[in-house]
């Protein structure tokens, strides 16, 4: 983690009621509430809450919130924040992420512009301490309907580069049958001692995906220490003692108070693709969700996924209800590639 003092927070106009300051650990409930107000407006299925925020902030990579995060208040209440982190990617590039949240009740106050400017400046400070020959980018992530942040990034020279969809299965009615597996493959319960192999296979399966970050030492703990993780809802297709396909599921409390299952990841090892393993594991996971009594499920997908994931999920009864866009611009020390 970066520990040296960072760029000072912005100074708000006198009389605006806006205050920028450094992050404190007791800010997480207010930050989660501001984040959820934005998600609710944008129709996002994935909820956020204090437990999710605490888990996220205890497993940050290349980001120390004490120096890499600022919080903004309006009339004494937290209405947003910006946190920076950086990642080297499996495609050879590097990205400097700006996680920027402005609750809808604080739009139009110039907060988005101030947060993004601070995030870019902080990223440049960090970049000076971790030099690289990699092509580097600023990266921002915007929910569909977040008109404030989209306007700020567009005006700041960012361009949309990738689109994600959130897909909902509103009921557990008419579940797909679990297809038979090819000879040599089987689904069996996952034991705690299996988790290192399951996580390692998932990391390997996603290496070729757009925007995937290089593996960290925290991957296993990030899975198993997540309060939403449930090993009994993992659906794993085994080839002997090796996992060949994995579908992971989290149990979440939706912001309307009803539980919802999140199909958090669908992965097939490159050496076992085009055998229908993911389709079988997904169907098995849906039956596990139904047996648990969870009334609905959702997942997120890169709409440009080259493994036709979007079509697979539609076949399983999911349909798109919301989305988000990744925006980026070249880091200032680099020239953009053609």
Handedness of CA 22, 124, 133, 150 (dihedral sign): positive
The number of C-alpha atoms within 13 Å of 271 and in the hemisphere containing its C-beta is 7
Mean pLDDT of the region 254-266: 83
Buried b (16+ CB within 10 A) or exposed e, 158-170: beeebebbbbbbe
Please, what is the average pLDDT of the chain? 92
What domains are there in the chain, each with its CATH number? 18-165+325-330 (3.40.630.30), 171-295 (3.40.630.30)
pLDDT in tens, 134-185: 999 999 999 999 999 999 999 999 999 999 999 999 999 999 999 999 999 9
Q: For residue 335, is pLDDT > 50?
A: no
Residue 139: which of 213, 39, 57, 41 has the closest Cα?
213
- According to DSSP, residue 92 is labeled S
Mean pLDDT of the region 41-61: 90
Query: What residue spans of 59-194 are helical by DSSP H?
Result: 65-68, 111-129, 147-155
What does the pLDDT read at residue 338?
Answer: 36
What does the pLDDT read at residue 166?
Answer: 96
At 337, is the pLDDT very low, low, confident or very high (cuts 50, 70, 90)? very low
- Token duo for residue 264: 């958090």
- Environment class of 291 (CB within 10 Å of its CB; exposed 0-12, middle 13-18, buried 19+): exposed
pLDDT in tens, 93-145: 999 999 999 999 999 999 999 999 999 999 999 999 999 999 999 999 999 99
* Element at 166 (helix H, strand E): strand 159-169
pLDDT in tens, 294-320: 999 999 999 887 668 889 999 999 999
Q: For residue 2, is pLDDT > 70?
A: no
Q: For residue 1, is pLDDT > 60?
A: no
What does the pLDDT read at residue 3?
Answer: 46
Q: Residue with structure tokens 């992050």? A: 23
What does the pLDDT read at residue 124?
Answer: 96
- Token duo for residue 326: 């990744």
pLDDT in tens, 62-79: 999 999 999 999 999 999
* Element at 199 (helix H, strand E): helix 195-206
219 vs 215: CA distance, rounded Å: 7
Task: Determine the distance from the C-alpha atom of residue 33 to the mean position of all C-alpha atoms in its chain, rounded to a whole number.
Answer: 18
Q: How many other C-beta atoms are found inside a 10 Å radius of the C-beta of residue 155? A: 11
How many angstroms separate the Cα of 237 from the Cα of each of 59, 132, 203, 312?
A: 28, 39, 16, 17
DSSP code string of 7-20: PPPP-PPTTS-EEE
Q: For residue 188, is pLDDT > 90?
A: yes
Q: For residue 192, is pLDDT > 50?
A: yes
At 4, is the pLDDT very low, low, confident or very high (cuts 50, 70, 90)? low
DSSP code string of 54-86: HHHHHS-SS--HHHHEEEEEETTEEEEEEEEEE
pLDDT in tens, 205-258: 888 776 777 777 777 888 888 888 899 999 999 999 999 999 999 998 876 678
What does the pLDDT read at residue 334?
Answer: 47
């Amino acid at each position: 983690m970066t520990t040296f003092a960072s760029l000072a927070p912005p100074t708000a106009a006198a009389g605006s009621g806006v205050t920028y300051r450094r992050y404190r650990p007791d800010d997480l409930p207010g930050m989660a509430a501001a984040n959820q107000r934005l998600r609710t407006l944008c129709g996002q299925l994935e909820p956020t809450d204090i437990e999710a925020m605490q888990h996220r902030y205890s497993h940050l990579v290349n980001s120390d919130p004490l120096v890499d995060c600022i919080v903004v208040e309006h009339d004494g209440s937290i209405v947003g924040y910006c946190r920076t982190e950086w990642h080297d990617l499996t495609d050879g590039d590097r990205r400097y992420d700006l996680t920027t949240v402005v609750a809808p009740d604080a739009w139009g106050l110039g907060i988005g512009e101030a947060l993004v400017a601070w995030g870019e400046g902080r990223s440049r400070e960090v970049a000076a301490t971790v030099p690289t020959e990699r092509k580097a980018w600023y990266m921002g992530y915007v929910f569909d309907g977040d008109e404030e942040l989209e306007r700020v990034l567009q005006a700041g020279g960012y361009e949309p580069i990738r689109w994600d969809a959130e897909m909902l299965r509103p009921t557990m009615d008419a579940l797909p049958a679990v297809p038979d597996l090819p000879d040599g493959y089987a689904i069996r319960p996952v034991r705690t001692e299996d988790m290192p192999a399951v996580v390692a296979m998932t990391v390997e399966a996603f290496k070729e995906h757009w925007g995937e970050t290089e593996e960290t030492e925290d991957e296993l703990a990030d899975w198993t220490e997540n309060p939403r993780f449930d090993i009994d809802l993992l659906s794993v297709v085994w080839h002997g003692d090796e996992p060949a396909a994995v579908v992971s599921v989290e149990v979440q409390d939706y912001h309307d108070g009803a539980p919802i299952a999140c199909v958090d990841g669908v992965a097939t090892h490159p050496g076992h693709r085009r055998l229908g393993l993911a389709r079988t594991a997904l169907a098995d996971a849906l039956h596990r969700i139904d047996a648990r009594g969870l009334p609905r499920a959702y997942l997120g997908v890169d709409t440009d996924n080259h493994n036709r994931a979007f079509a697979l999920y539609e076949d399983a009864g999911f349909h798109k209800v919301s989305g988000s866009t990744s925006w980026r611009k070249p880091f200032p020390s680099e020239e953009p590639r053609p």
